[in-house]
């Protein structure tokens, strides 16, 4: 089977690495990809907003399956456009309606309310209701959680103890800080818990759960400092005991899939449940309509199944006949970033010693190739994944290689997994 993978980050590097292992794969194309994905397929540069160009490439290259890595094209309806023009194409990712679970936080909240799925209490306000929003702030407890409704590149959530600051933030959002993503604002209750990331693949009716992971979003040691796209991840997650796992399945995953089915949403892809464990009970923080990053960089290395076969089953109605098999080892990934990320940082630094890495997997995130050299090309540059029986050994192995890889202004956290056993 020929496959086209859309995206260019660490997640797509992990997809490419995993897809490449499948005997069912013939040719893998990645658009636009990065020097990491290039090791496992052919990078191509398709303007995916130009549907004629995209359909032209798919037809010319005999592509049978298209996997959409990031959320933005899904929220913009790439599934629906491709489905209309190429009804036989196997598209991995939800329809535009399904992607709204990530694309509109207000929609996701209504969905959860309708199907009785535990999440923080909330209220939605539009621009005309700014004064009502301010009044609501006066009546609720702190910390206050404020969210822009639409996609804001992971920056649309503000948590504050200060009510005046909360009002200022709301005014800024309504004034266009996040563009039209901030036309509506959600104010919600703060959930005090430990977060974890659950992934399923679904065909809108049945589902299979992939290994559970935890990502480390704060830039500083011991989860301090600014929020980032993710500084590392670990899988499995030791605090998920049988009780929490059963509650996660029964209270969250099953009613979500059932809701998708009841609402007749066409969904053939991944659902990423961002959950938090509040005193032994799971709550949904957010839905994402795609795999996580950097969670993919620990989930795929632990998944023993053939990913092409699994994804194909979403189109052959036999997903329930598959048994998901996990590597029992721990996987830990450590993200190497440009220093000062997530604020202003420099790029274009040469990355050395990649050829010296042993016993870890390197996934490229923000890199580029120029004159045969690999250069930094983003805040998150590379991630180093290692597997071992003990999480400490997996971490140490990743740290050893993180130290060996050399580029100017390199930074990484050396405590990934510090808060789990």
The site for ligand GLY (CB under 6 A) is made up of: 215, 230, 288, 292-293, 295
CB neighbourhood size of 266 (10 A): 17
65 Cβ contact partners less than 8 Å away, ≥ 6 residues apart: 1, 2, 3, 4, 89, 90, 91, 92, 308, 311, 312
| Angle (nearest 5°) at CA 390 between 292 and 299 | 20
Single out the residue of 188, 203, 293, 295 in contact with ligand AMP (rule: CB under 6 A).
188
Nearer to ligand GLY, 35 or 292 (CB): 292
Nearer to ligand AMP, 4 or 112 (CB): 112
387, with CB counted inside 10 A (0-12, 13-18, 19+), is buried
Report the distance separating Cα 273 and Cα 196, nearest Å.
Answer: 8
Q: Could you tell which of ligand GLY, ligand AMP, none binds residue 292, using a CB distance below 5 to 8 A set by kind?
A: ligand GLY
Q: Could you tell which of ligand GLY, ligand AMP, none binds residue 157, using a CB distance below 5 to 8 A set by kind?
A: ligand AMP
Report the distance separating Cα 421 and Cα 416, nearest Å.
Answer: 12
Which residue's CB comes closest to ligand GLY? 292
Q: Establish if 157 lies at the interface with ligand AMP (CB under 6 A).
A: yes
Single out the residue of 115, 134, 136, 190 in contact with ligand AMP (rule: CB under 6 A).
190
Q: Establish if 153 lies at the interface with ligand AMP (CB under 6 A).
A: no
| 3-state secondary structure labels for all residues of 275-312 | EEEECCEEEEEEEECCCCCCCHHHHHHHECCCHHHHHH
Nearer to ligand AMP, 217 or 263 (CB): 217
Report the distance separating Cα 382 and Cα 340, nearest Å.
Answer: 15
Single out the residue of 80, 169, 203, 286 in contact with ligand AMP (rule: CB under 6 A).
286
- Residue 182 beta carbon to ligand AMP: minimum distance, rounded to whole angstroms: 13
Only one of the segments 154-162, 206-214, 398-406, 412-420 lies at the binding site for ligand AMP (rule: CB under 6 A); that segment is 154-162
Q: Could you tell which of ligand AMP, ligand GLY, none binds residue 120, using a CB distance below 5 to 8 A set by kind?
A: ligand AMP
Report the distance separating Cα 187 and Cα 372, nearest Å.
Answer: 49
Q: Establish if 120 lies at the interface with ligand AMP (CB under 6 A).
A: yes
């Amino acid at each position: 089977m020929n496959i086209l993978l859309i995206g260019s980050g660490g997640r797509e590097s992990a997809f490419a690495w995993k897809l490449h292992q499948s005997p069912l794969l013939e040719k893998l194309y990645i658009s636009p990809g990065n020097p990491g994905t290039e090791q496992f397929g052919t990078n191509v540069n398709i303007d995916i907003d130009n549907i004629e160009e995209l359909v032209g490439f798919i037809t010319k290259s005999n592509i049978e399956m298209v996997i959409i890595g990031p959320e933005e094209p899904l929220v913009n309806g790439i599934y629906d456009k491709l489905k209309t023009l190429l009804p036989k194409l196997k598209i991995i990712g939800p329809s535009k309606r399904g992607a709204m679970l990530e694309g509109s936080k207000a929609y996701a909240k209504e969905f959860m309310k309708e199907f009785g799925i535990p999440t923080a209490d909330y209220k939605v306000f539009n621009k005309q209701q700014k004064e009502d929003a301010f009044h609501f702030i006066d009546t609720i407890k702190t910390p206050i959680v404020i969210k822009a409704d639409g996609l804001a590149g992971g920056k649309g959530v503000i948590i504050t103890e200060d009510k005046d600051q909360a009002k200022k933030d709301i005014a800024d959002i309504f004034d266009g800080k996040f563009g039209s993503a901030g036309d509506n604002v959600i104010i919600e209750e703060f959930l005090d818990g430990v977060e974890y990331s659950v992934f399923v693949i679904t065909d809108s009716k049945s589902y299979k759960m992939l290994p559970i992971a935890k990502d480390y979003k704060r830039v500083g040691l011991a989860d301090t400092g600014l929020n980032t796209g993710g500084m590392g991840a670990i899988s499995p997650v030791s605090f998920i005991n049988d009780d929490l796992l059963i509650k996660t399945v029964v209270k969250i995953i099953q009613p979500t899939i059932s809701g998708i089915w009841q609402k007749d949403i066409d969904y053939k892809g991944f659902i990423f449940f961002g959950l938090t464990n509040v005193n032994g009970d799971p709550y949904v923080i957010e839905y994402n309509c795609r795999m996580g990053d950097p969670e993919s960089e620990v989930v795929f290395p632990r998944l023993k199944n053939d990913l092409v076969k699994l994804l194909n089953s979403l189109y052959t109605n036999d997903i329930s006949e598959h048994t998901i098999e996990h590597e029992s080892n721990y996987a830990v990934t450590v993200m190497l970033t440009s220093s000062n990320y997530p604020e202003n940082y420099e790029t274009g630094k040469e990355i050395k010693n990649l050829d010296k890495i042993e016993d870890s997997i390197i996934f490229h995130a923000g890199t580029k190739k120029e004159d045969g050299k690999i250069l930094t090309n983003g805040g998150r540059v590379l991630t180093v994944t290692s597997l071992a029986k003990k999480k400490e050994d997996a971490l140490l192995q990743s740290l050893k290689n993180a130290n060996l890889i050399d580029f100017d202004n390199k930074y990484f956290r050396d405590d990934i997994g510090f808060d789990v056993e």
